[in-house]
């Protein structure tokens, strides 16, 4: 017995609609965090991480729920942003 492709397509659409509801791409900068470079040791292996610049955006999702999301930005952008500024993610 073959399954109809419309069932698969509708199930995929249903799942994607839930995924998109949870993401935000604009809002207010709630926090800024500088994460310095460091060396990690795990299972006998050393891993070096580079310094990173993180901002946390607080905004509304498609379902109008308040959400927070972390983004990593370049140093120049990090230095120019302030907590409380509006921020929009450009893809």
CA distance 51 to 36: 4
- Per-residue confidence at 22, pLDDT binned at 50, 70, 90? low
How does pLDDT run across 41-51, given as a tens digit for each residue? 888 788 888 99
The tokens of 13 are what? Answer: 């659409």
| pLDDT reading at 13 higher than 80 | no
How does pLDDT run across 54-79, given as a tens digit for each residue? 999 999 888 888 899 999 999 999 99
| pLDDT reading at 52 higher than 80 | yes
DSSP one-letter code for 64? S
Question: How crowded is residue 86: how many other Cβ atoms within 10 Å of its Cβ?
Answer: 10
Question: How crowded is residue 85: how many other Cβ atoms within 10 Å of its Cβ?
Answer: 11
- Phi (first) and psi of residue 12, to 5 degrees: -65, -45
The tokens of 71 are what? Answer: 């983004």
* Position with higher pLDDT, 84 vs 47: 84
Exposure string over 56-78, b if 16+ CB within 10 A, otherwise e: bbebebeeeeebebeeebeeeeb
């Amino acid at each position: 017995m073959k399954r109809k492709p419309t069932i698969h397509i509708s199930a995929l659409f249903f799942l994607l609609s839930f995924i998109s509801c949870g993401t935000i791409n604009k809002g207010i900068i709630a926090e800024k965090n500088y994460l310095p470079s460091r060396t990690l040791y795990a299972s006998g292996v050393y891993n070096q991480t580079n310094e990173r610049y993180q901002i946390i955006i607080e905004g509304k999702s498609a379902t109008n729920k308040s959400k927070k999301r972390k983004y990593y930005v370049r140093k120049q952008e990090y230095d120019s942003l302030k907590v409380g500024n509006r921020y929009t993610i450009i893809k």
